[in-house]
Amino acid sequence: MVPSNLERIIAAKGELLARRAMEYARERGLDSHCTAASEEVWRLAIAGLSQALLLDFSALDERAGRTSGPGRPADPATAFGAEEARRQRARGEPPGSSLEIMKCSRQSYLDLVREQRLPAGEEEASLTFVERFFDRVETGVCVECASLTNRASAELASANALLEREIEQHRKTEEALVRSERLFHAAIDALTANIAILDCNGTIMAVNRAWRQFADENGFRGENYGIGSSYLAVCDSATGDDAEVARAAARGIRDLLAGRSAALHLEYQCHSPDEKRWFQMRATCLEWLEPACVVMAHESITEVKRAEQEMVSFNRALEERVRHRTTQLELSNRELEGFCYAVSHDLRAHLARLEGFGRGLLEDFGERFDGPSRSYVERICRISIDLRRVIDALLDLSRYTRCDLVVRPVNLSDIASAVADELHAVQPRRSVKVDIAPDVIVKGDPKLLAMVVRHLLENAWKFTSQRTCADIQFGVTTLHGMRACFVRDNGAGFDMRYAGRLFQPFQRLHGPAEFEGLGIGLATVQRIVQRHGGRAWAEGEVDGGATFYFTLQE
């Protein structure tokens, strides 16, 4: 898995990576690589590393049978390592300096990832990706050193035919050959993956310490750990549960050597009596060598597989808990719904009787009441009526949060025009200019969205009632990258310090003496908008009008 943030991090921190790599080189005593003149060399090396690492993102997704894009090496990491080793030699640096530079660079990239404080899983994946990338870079360095060995061998063979005066030069070449071989073996032995290098015929030329240790621990103690034997023949002759994977590996290696594919990646099981284990095999052909050879790495991915299995188990348990909680919530909602309807029925009945008794008092004994007494009875009747309206509004609010949504395209402009016509018909003497943007089309439940538009326009109509020339607008705009509908008015406005109370039931910012209402309309708007995956908010100022916005999930 390629970490989602690693590409962005690497691309943005080139200068920091180069500077730190030089600091690590200085700490290792590589003073000759840390002069002022070396800074540009380090920057170029880090830039090349980052480019190879970013190319490696796309190479990771390639499988056997697929070729890389035009101009892209089969393995960017290995290719860069080989090229860097060649550049070091061209500058007259010893072969080991390339590995030292890569180790300093590796530490610089690892420290950069750790400093990002990524989530635990993503940080682990990023560190593992960087480690494996540098393993293959160092493999490229080592293989390039091996190619130097082959060339040195040719020089040594021809040197035997030279005159006596060249004996000293021959001795020096032989010493360089020995040093290169030691460096090559030391380099691949430092890698944690099980590494084997195959020649163009599939014969094992070299293996590293991890390969030998794995063979010892698992009873594969063949002669010289398989060096000199055909890896392809071993795969072809495999039997049992491993036969299919072994033959797939043999086919993939032959495709690499024949140029039919750019890389090989296989995941397979290799369980032991003590534990279940998973491995992945990665192979790439170093086709620029003559003759070409294949670098093959086997890495344990047991911990990754265990983590994946644990995640699957966790998700299943989480889904089960969610289903259980959802069932409980549905039962609670049904019980609450039944309770609300029962209570509302009883309350409405009592309020109706209370109102009836009040009207009876007025009709039968109204002439005997003095002014205050008659006022009290009339207030009892009005309060009874208001309470019934509150109960109806609460039941409507509860119903809007429970009903099923019927989602389809809705033209809010048509709804707004119809509501505005109704408001003008009820109060024809008011001077109100209503400006409605055309064809504001959204997706949602037509009935519920009609309630949203109606409540917002009625709210604007009410709070502009004290304006001689009222102005109300309905339209759509873009805020913070979101499409938002709005209703704007030049009415009484409100204090933004109390904006959080606007959408709470019965939380009114104006007294009933100023503007009538129950304080439930905006709460209804918010519930409906939230059911559509959006949100509602308002902006305003005292005596400066207000704007109510709402968004819907597209």
pLDDT, one tens digit per residue, over 415-440 is: 999 999 999 999 888 999 999 999 99
pLDDT, one tens digit per residue, over 464-474 is: 988 888 999 99
Higher pLDDT, 356 or 448: 448
Nearest to 225 by CA among 263, 185, 256, 183: 185
> Cα(535)–Cα(278) distance, rounded to whole angstroms?
48
Token output for 211: 């390969």
The strand pair at 441-444 and 470-479 is best described as unpaired
The strand pair at 263-269 and 470-479 is best described as unpaired
Residue 71 clears pLDDT 80, i.e. is over it: no
pLDDT, one tens digit per residue, over 103-112 is: 888 888 888 8
> Cα(379)–Cα(125) distance, rounded to whole angstroms?
72
Nearest to 520 by CA among 499, 505, 508, 500: 505
Q: Of 108-112, 151-155, 172-176, 274-278, where does the model show the most confidence?
A: 108-112
- Contact indicator for 457, 474 with CB cutoff of 8 Å: yes
Work out the average pLDDT over 149-167: 65
> Cα(262)–Cα(70) distance, rounded to whole angstroms?
11
- Contact indicator for 44, 52 with CB cutoff of 8 Å: no
Q: Provide the mean pLDDT of the chain.
A: 80
Task: Say what angle helices 446-463 and 521-531 make with each other, to 10 degrees.
Answer: 150
* Residue 510 DSSP symbol: S
Task: Give the model's confidence band at 456: pLDDT under 50 very low, under 70 low, under 90 confident, else very high.
Answer: very high
Work out the average pLDDT over 529-546: 90
Token output for 25: 């080189």
- Contact indicator for 542, 434 with CB cutoff of 8 Å: no
Locus of tokens 């989530």:
119
pLDDT, one tens digit per residue, over 286-342 is: 877 778 889 889 888 888 888 888 889 888 888 888 888 877 776 766 665 665 666
Residue 151 clears pLDDT 80, i.e. is over it: no
> Cα(148)–Cα(150) distance, rounded to whole angstroms?
5
Tell me the one-letter amino acid at 172. Answer: K
Token output for 481: 């990258």
* Residue 366 DSSP symbol: G
What's the farthest any 2 CA atoms get from each other in the chain?
Answer: 146
> Cα(180)–Cα(479) distance, rounded to whole angstroms?
64
Query: Alpha helix (H) ranges present in 366-469?
Result: 371-400, 412-426, 446-463
Please give the span between the terminal C-alpha atoms of the chain, in angstroms, as a whole number.
31
pLDDT at residue 68, as a whole number: 45
> Cα(57)–Cα(60) distance, rounded to whole angstroms?
5
The strand pair at 278-286 and 546-551 is best described as unpaired
- Residues 6 or more apart whose CB falls under 8 angstroms from that of 20 comprise 107, 108, 111, 112
Token output for 5: 């943030």
Verify cis geometry, omega within 30 degrees of 0, for the bond prior to 76: no
Kindly provide the b/e burial profile for residues 278-311, where b requires at least 16 CB atoms within 10 angstroms of the residue's own CB: bbbbbbbbbbebeeebbbbbbbbbbebbeeeeee
Task: Say what angle helices 412-426 and 446-463 make with each other, to 10 degrees.
Answer: 40
